[in-house]
Amino acid sequence: MKQDAILFIDVDDSSSVRYNYREPHFAVARAQGLVCLTAGIAGRRHVQRLRDDSDGVFLLDALSEEAILEVVGQLDEHYQIRGIFCQAGHPSAQGEVGCIVARACQRLGLVYSNPEAVAACNNKLLMRRVLKQHAIRSVPFALCNNEQQLQQQAERVGYPLIAKPPFGGASAFIKKCSNWAELQGHYALFVRDHAAAAYADFYGCAHPLPEHDGQRQDYIPGRSILLEGYIPGIEGSVECVVAGERVHPLLINEKLLLTERSGTVLENLLISPPASFTDSQCEQIREYAVACLHAVGLTNAVVHFEFRMTEDGPVVIEINPRVGGLYVNAAFRDLAGIDPYQLYLGLLMGEPGTTARLEAGARKVAQAGQHYAMLAIYPQRSGRFEGIEGVEFLDRNAAVLEYAQQEPGHLIDADIEEHYLLKCWAKVQDAAHARALHDAVIEQLRVVIDNPVTG
């Protein structure tokens, strides 16, 4: 008799694990009696990392639909594959894994996310194009592959502007530029140091972009950079679930504290439910998120939707077809009463009752009287991260519900991307309490960085 199983396609072969995604889904799956299988690309260095929490590991000749279909065929004798998934929020230098997995699932008759929508979410240029086509509030934008294009398009977009890779992770090489000198310097930094980023693989691979306005353009990792009009206002996120084609905007988080580095923007402190948005603004934010997700056509996904609230209303920053980072999973759990990993597995396997659970979660969020905060500690300088002293303060603090520390022993660059050295989830009274807790954590804990290097 075949065993029911799920299959995860893993493309993270970095020396330091870049996302915690397979593991929590597998924990939920095992509790349901499912066999947890993983496929990676042949030639990867860290195969043992996959074996540590998988019931079976299989190596693909390439990251392709055909390779996935072939391994599923090999598994068919012993397993009934109920769902195939990946961390769909980032591409890989070997291909756009979210799109490839989606198309493979489509061919196998399994639940899948719209592959064109996944592509539009992961490539912020394509996302802006779709919003423009649907006349949804957005900002001017342009993709540039060299300095000449950069200067010309910056004049058209207008300063201040945001310059960032159209693909990417960990807020790498993002900068607000107020003039040509700042933009020129940032682009030079990006071209020179892009390969040094821990998340460099998330830039994807070189490929031609869909023709637009009669023009053809290539995407070149480490060379292509996206310009966007600067979005003023308070930043936040909407945590959504798309069941089939129906969008459920469950949670709104407000970012209370952001800091800018030379090449990245860091999220230091968030609060949920938000403290600054009125009820009518929250409704407007939810309606806008739904409109954007319908426009890109995303289906069957958990979504982390980032925006800023302007005088004219919310404007999207990015759409991530995955569970949000930091402690978004805890926000789902404590505010909506939903385990996002369990919910996503239910979506993949076509379990009944998902809509009812989401509607119940939305009602619970609407009635929430308790605020929660998530905060992060980042390195102040580059070097080898050796650990954090003083975490006993978190153990003693009644407000702190849970925290996690990054594995020490890795070189980090503090200036080009975000590194969560420690993240924390806490119960707070209001925004002032959240800020006070953040300040106390910064004061009481000491980050140990050895062998500093130039960032």
The pLDDT tens digits for 1-45 are 899 999 999 998 777 777 889 999 999 999 999 999 999 999 888
* 291 in the same domain as 176: no
Does a structural domain hold residue 128? no
pLDDT, residue 455, reads 40
* 278 in the same domain as 217: no
Domain end, chosen from 213, 229, 245, is at: 229
Closest CA to 253 of 269, 233, 230, 266: 269
pLDDT, residue 44, reads 87
As a whole number of angstroms, the distance between CA 405 and CA 193 comes to 26
Does a structural domain hold residue 123? no
* 238 in the same domain as 221: no
List, for residues 180-198, the tens digit of each pLDDT value.
999 999 999 999 988 887 7
- Whether the per-residue pLDDT at 312 is higher than 70: the answer is yes
* 276 in the same domain as 175: no
Do the beta carbons of residue 339 and residue 372 sit within 8 Å?
Answer: no
List the CATH number of the domain containing 440: 3.30.470.20
What's the 3-state SS for the chain? Answer: CCEEEEEEECCCCCCCCCCCCHHHHHHHHHHCCCEEEEEEECCCCCHHHHHCCCCEEEEECCCCHHHHHHHHHHHCCCEEEEEEEECCCCCECCECHHHHHHHHHHHHCCCCCCHHHHHHHHCHHHHHHHHHHCCCCCCCEEEECCHHHHHHHHHHHCCCEEEECCCCCCCCCCEEECCHHHHHHHHHHHHHHHHHCCCHHHHCCCEECCCECCECCEECCCCCEEEEECCCCEEEEEEEEEECCEEEEEEEEEEEEEEECCCCEEEEEEEECCCCCCHHHHHHHHHHHHHHHHHHCCCCEEEEEEEEEECCEEEEEEEECCCCCCCHHHHHHHHHCCCHHHHHHHHHCCCCCHHHHHHHHHHHHHCCCCEEEEEEECCCCCEEEEEEECCHHHHHCCCEEEEEECCCCEEECCCCCCCCCEEEEEEECCHHHHHHHHHHHHHHCEEEEECCCCC
Domain end, chosen from 229, 257, 284, is at: 229
- Whether the per-residue pLDDT at 438 is higher than 60: the answer is yes
* 218 in the same domain as 273: no
Give the rounded distance of the alpha carbon of 182 from its chain centre: 27
Does a structural domain hold residue 126? no
List, for residues 369-381, the tens digit of each pLDDT value.
899 999 999 888 8
* 240 in the same domain as 195: no
* pLDDT-wise least confident of 52-61, 280-289, 291-300: 52-61
Closest CA to 317 of 257, 230, 247: 230
* 244 in the same domain as 184: no
* 89 in the same domain as 55: yes
Does a structural domain hold residue 130? no
Does a structural domain hold residue 135? no
Of residues 17 and 99, more confidently modeled = 99
Q: What average pLDDT does range 382-387 have in this prediction? A: 89
Give residue for tokens 């994807």: 204
* 222 in the same domain as 240: no
Average pLDDT, the chain: 92
Does a structural domain hold residue 26? yes
Q: What average pLDDT does range 126-151 have in this prediction? A: 96
pLDDT, residue 170, reads 66
Q: What average pLDDT does range 275-295 have in this prediction? A: 97
List, for residues 326-354, the tens digit of each pLDDT value.
999 999 999 999 999 999 999 999 999 99
List the CATH number of the domain containing 38: 3.40.50.20
* Range(s) of the domain holding residue 31: 3-111
- Kindly report the pTM of this predicted structure: 0.94
Percentage of the chain modeled with pLDDT above 90: 74
Does a structural domain hold residue 203? yes
* 298 in the same domain as 202: no
As a whole number of angstroms, the distance between CA 103 and CA 97 comes to 10
Domain end, chosen from 229, 249, 272, is at: 229
pLDDT, residue 91, reads 84
Of residues 407 and 301, more confidently modeled = 301
- Under the banding of pLDDT at 50, 70 and 90, the label for residue 283 is very high
Domain count, the chain: 3
Q: What average pLDDT does range 256-260 have in this prediction? A: 89
C-alpha radius of gyration, the chain, whole number: 21
* 383 in the same domain as 322: yes
Does a structural domain hold residue 268? yes
- Under the banding of pLDDT at 50, 70 and 90, the label for residue 135 is very high
* 264 in the same domain as 191: no
pLDDT, residue 205, reads 83
pLDDT, residue 454, reads 45
The alpha carbon torsion through 21, 23, 24, 29 (nearest 10 deg) reads 120
List the CATH number of the domain containing 201: 3.30.1490.20
Q: What average pLDDT does range 357-373 have in this prediction? A: 95
pLDDT, residue 452, reads 57
pLDDT, residue 437, reads 96
